[in-house]
């Protein structure tokens, strides 16, 4: 089969590792909470709407429903996207900033290769040598034009799958990792469920049309967000052009990324295109500006690159990530019978991403789940710090006891 390549000396492709950095943009209303001050006793007993610094004591019976992703107040059709389904997600927090048919099941086309690459990178070794099978070489549509018996490393195959969208490379990856394409697909579906992608079902590793092969804008954003935390994945998907080295025969193949957003949007740094008649034009895109990364997904979008750019620009201009609590920050005083209250601190940082207009609608409260009894261990979970946007709970972080409290054999508290 024809293969565009030129002979060069053997070499390695060095991929630039990208950091997964974000910056916070705290609103003035959160300054005290982020600064390490604890809510006053009066505030903890309050029952009115609170600033993020404030909190209220709530009994365990009054627990609300599990948190859901925050959604900006901007209507989904205000940007007049051509996409049938779209989502904009903050890569650090996972908050949904913009939504349109986010859970609608659609053919994902080659955006499927995001999951294939994730498993290839997690379960394989970059330098392991793969021999192309006859089955892999027979795969059609977008390919690397692989021939049976050719040899190249797993890393090169993953690069070919993500940059050139090689369907044949995906089958070769699947067979190398799992022994068969069918077993690899089982692993893909298992991984999707572990990531929370419940609107996804794969039947192949490359996205070729099948009525039982589907995903959603939200699920693809979850997968991309996860993949971008893998340095090699992030490095490959940001490449405009590169080359892969075949070991047998000893040749080099030039690759050009199918993601045109990398050329026409200066902050773009990934991720994957996809196109079939069933799926239409699709794009999972990422961009990083001033340390903050956003992920945009547009499915069945005639103007996929324009849609993605609109979403990303809107996200950087109209939304922000806000810190409400730092890890280890004292968030309240846990009442202990017979002695002074014990400070309770946040188990981890609390950060949310949402539109700037919605920041003023945030509120927070402390919920004491543990009955006030002794002994109390240091680091024991005594409650939780909840962040709300109206009636929607956005975050819930465990609160831990700062010190231990017990009674000696004479009944004295110590």
> What does the pLDDT profile of the chain (414 residues) look like in tens digits?
333 343 333 333 333 333 333 333 333 333 333 333 444 332 343 322 333 333 333 333 333 333 344 444 444 457 899 999 999 999 999 999 999 999 999 999 999 999 999 999 999 999 999 999 999 999 978 889 999 999 999 999 999 999 999 999 999 999 999 999 999 999 999 999 999 999 999 999 999 999 999 999 999 999 999 999 999 999 999 999 999 999 999 999 999 999 999 999 999 999 999 999 999 999 999 999 999 999 999 999 999 999 999 999 999 999 999 999 999 999 999 999 888 899 999 999 999 999 988 998 999 999 999 998 889 999 999 999 999 999 999 999 999 999 999 876 656 666
Residues of the chain with CATH 3.40.710.10: 85-318
Among 70, 72, 165, 286, the active-site one is 165
Distance CA 128, CA 228 (A): 22
Distance CA 345, CA 334 (A): 10
DSSP 248: B
**Rounded to an integer, what distance in angstroms lies between the CA atom of residue 360 and that of residue 346?**
22
Half-sphere CA count of 366, side-chain side, radius 13 A:
33
Q: Give the pLDDT of residue 274.
A: 98
Given the residues 55, 72, 100, 113, select the one marked as catalytic. 113
For residue 40, indicate whether it is catalytic.
no
Contact present, 41 and 262 (Cβ < 8 Å): no
- Name the segment(s) of the chain with CATH classification 2.60.410.10: 28-70+322-401
* pLDDT on residue 142: 82
* pLDDT score recorded for residue 338: 83
Backbone angles phi, psi at 342, to 5 degrees: -105, 125
Q: Is 165 a catalytic residue?
A: yes
CB proximity list for 14: less than 8 A, separation 6 or greater:
none
- Residue 110 among the catalytic residues: yes
Q: State the pLDDT at residue 141.
A: 81
- CATH, domain range 85-318: 3.40.710.10
Give the C-alpha separation, 62 to 411, whole Å.
33
Quote the pLDDT of residue 70: 43
Q: Alpha-carbon distance 287 to 294, whole Å?
A: 6
Structure-token pair, residue 45: 């007993």
Model confidence, pTM: 0.81
**257 phi and psi, to 5 degrees?**
-65, 140
pLDDT score at 185: 98
Of 147, 84, 87, which is closest to residue 278 (Cα–Cα)?
84
The count of other CB atoms within 10 Å of the CB of residue 310 is 21
The domain 28-70+322-401 having CATH identifier 3.30.70.270: the answer here is no
**In sequence order, what DSSP letters do the residues of 367-393 get, joined into one string?**
EE-S-S-S-B-TT-EEEEEEEEETTEE
């Amino acid at each position: 089969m024809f293969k565009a390549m030129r002979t060069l000396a053997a070499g390695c492709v060095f991929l630039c590792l990208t950091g997964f950095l974000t910056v916070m943009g705290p609103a003035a209303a959160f300054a005290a909470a982020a600064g390490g001050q604890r809510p006053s006793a009066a505030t903890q007993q309050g029952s009115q709407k609170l600033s993020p610094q404030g909190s209220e004591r709530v009994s365990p019976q009054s627990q609300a429903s599990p948190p859901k992703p925050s959604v900006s107040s901007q209507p989904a059709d205000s940007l007049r996207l051509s996409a049938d389904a779209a989502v904009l997600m903050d890569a650090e927090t996972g908050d949904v900033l913009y939504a349109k048919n986010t859970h609608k099941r659609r053919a994902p086309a080659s955006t499927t290769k995001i999951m294939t690459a994730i498993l290839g990178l997690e379960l394989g070794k970059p330098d392991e040598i793969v021999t192309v099978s006859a089955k892999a070489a027979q795969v059609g549509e977008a390919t690397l034009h692989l021939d049976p018996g050719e040899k190249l490393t797993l890393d090169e195959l993953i690069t070919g799958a993500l940059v050139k969208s090689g369907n044949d490379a995906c089958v070769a990856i699947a067979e190398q990792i799992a022994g068969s394409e069918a077993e690899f697909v089982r692993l893909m579906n298992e991984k999707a469920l572990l990531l929370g992608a419940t609107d996804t079902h794969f039947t192949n590793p490359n996205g070729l049309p099948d009525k039982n092969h589907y995903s959603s804008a939200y699920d693809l954003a979850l997968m991309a967000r996860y993949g971008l935390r893998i340095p090699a994945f992030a490095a490959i998907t940001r490449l405009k052009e590169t080359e892969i080295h075949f070991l047998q025969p000893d040749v080099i193949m030039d690759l050009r990324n199918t993601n045109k957003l990398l050329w026409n949007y200066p902050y773009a740094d990934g991720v994957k295109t996809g196109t079939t008649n069933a799926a239409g034009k699709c794009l999972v895109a990422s961009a990083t500006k001033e340390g903050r990364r956003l992920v945009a997904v547009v499915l069945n979008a005639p103007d996929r690159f324009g849609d993605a750019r609109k979403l990303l620009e809107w996200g950087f201009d109209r939304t922000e990530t806000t810190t409400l609590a730092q890890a280890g920050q004292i968030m309240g005083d846990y009442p202990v019978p017979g002695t002074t209250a014990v400070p309770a601190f946040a188990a981890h940082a609390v950060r949310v991403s949402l539109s700037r207009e919605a920041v003023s609608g945030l509120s927070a409260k402390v919920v004491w789940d543990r009955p006030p009894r002794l002994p109390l261990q240091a680091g024991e979970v005594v409650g939780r710090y909840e962040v709300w946007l109206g009636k929607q709970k956005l975050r819930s972080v465990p609160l831990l006891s700062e010190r231990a409290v017990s009674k000696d054999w004479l009944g004295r508290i110590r």
